[in-house]
Amino acid sequence: MSVTTIRAAIATRLATITGLAAYTHVPTNPAVPCAIVRPTETDYDLTIANGGDIQRYEILLLATSAGTPWDVAQASIDAYLDRSGASSVRAALQGDVTLGSTASTCRLTGWRDYGTLAYGGVEYFGVRFSLEVWAL
């Protein structure tokens, strides 16, 4: 499956989180809270007969502007990090690991860079997630 199709399927799953805008392309002025999905790397042909590609994506989650008080920003980020719940990124993706039948499966492998992140010359509070997709 194409990167474009899988990226759109990831954004569709993330859009199931109420109030979270999900972008498939890099926005000039993102409306927070938002998730920006971007491909980072691919391993081709992990199985015989030209198959078994693993695509990796970063989900950049921008929760609030950097001017938000830290305790408020932290509370808004934490909800996205939970293993389950209405705002959980992991739960949203686990809701359909085939990403609308565009992948064999996907797995959120973790998160990093919790705190202040610069994006487009503006600072936000956010976090970066790593996602592996076994593409069809």
Residue 47 binned pLDDT confidence (cut-offs 50, 70, 90): low
Alpha carbon distances (Å) from 58 to 13, 81, 116, 123: 14, 14, 17, 18
Q: What is the pLDDT of residue 50?
A: 63
pLDDT in tens, 9-26: 999 999 999 999 999 998
Domain count, the chain: 1
Residues 6+ apart with CB under 8 A from 81: 88, 89, 111, 114, 127
Q: What share of the chain is helix, strand, coil (3-state, %, to 5)?
A: 20, 45, 35
For residue 107, the enclosing domain spans 3-135
Residue 44 binned pLDDT confidence (cut-offs 50, 70, 90): confident
What are φ and ψ of residue 13, in 5° steps? Answer: -65, -45
pTM to 2 decimals? 0.93
Q: What is the pLDDT of residue 97?
A: 98
Where residue 26 sits, what CATH number does that domain have? 3.30.70.1700
